Amino acid sequence: MKYVLISGASGDIGIEITRQILKETDFNVLAMYNKNPARIDELELEYKSRIQKYKCDFNSDEDVEEAKDFIKDFKLDSAIFCAGLSQIQMINKTNIEDISKIINVNLKAPIALSSQVADIMVKEKSGSIIYISSMWGLDGASCESVYSATKAGIIAFSKALSRELGPSNIRVNTICPGFIDTKMNSNLSAEDKEEFICQIPLMRAGMPSDIADLVLFLINKKAGYITGANIKVDGGYI
């Protein structure tokens, strides 16, 4: 039995991806999380032995190295990197510790784990790797400059990795969500949300299921000739 690795599996987007993969495929899931394990526990009750959770703090080099050792013996069909950290703050008010945390979660840890994922998949001569980036990795968001930089970085990394791993029949793609109705946007007032949505051509916020649906397609063999792609799911905002 092959597995799908999902980092950030307890987040709003990550848990929906986890749920849909368990529901729509016969893959087992390695659900990597740092907080909110209860959301994964609920899926464990429903899907029993098909899900295995693993705690990893992406701001701990030791945790990341241990996670690499943990996944090395699993046959991974796919890996989806969903973990993300954002902080809305002027750059001149952002300290080096906060900068490091955002870079670690959004860029450094996914790259480090990708080295182990790639090692597994190269041996199998098959695989799909997906990084959840952001529309701000394409356009840049005011007061989220560090976040935007990391999301742009993961797009560039994915593009390069697709060329590196393509000869081994491993596909690498990124997804750039737009305004998705998640806790990450809970800091916005109702008025700010309404104003933002009015600028989206489809006139609605995206849902975690909109991202999960695309993930399901990209890990499917029907997407077997898609690699090096960066796909916006933003309702036409950018």
To which H or E segment does residue 216 belong? helix 208-219
- Name the active-site residue from 3, 33, 131, 147: 147
Mark whether 147 is an active-site residue.
yes
Q: Could you tell me if 72 and 120 are in contact, meaning their C-beta atoms sit under 8 angstroms apart?
A: yes
Bridge partners (DSSP) listed for residue 231: 175
The pair of three-digit structure tokens given for residue 163, joined into one six-digit string = 């060329």
Please state the separation of Cα 140 from the chain's center in Å: 18
Residue 131, strand partner residues: 81, 174
Other CB atoms within a 10 A radius of the CB of residue 56 amount to: 22
Cβ atoms of 121 and 165 closer than 8 Å: yes
Question: CB neighbours (10 Å) of residue 62?
Answer: 8
User: What are the angstrom distances between the C-alpha of 25 and each of 81, 129, 165, 174, 209?
Assistant: 18, 17, 24, 21, 15
* CA-to-CA dists, residue 131 to 9, 14, 189, angstroms: 13, 11, 29
Q: How far is CA 132 from CA 62, 201, 211, in A?
A: 23, 22, 9
| Structural tokens at position 178 | 């737009």
Q: Which residues are identified as catalytic?
A: 147
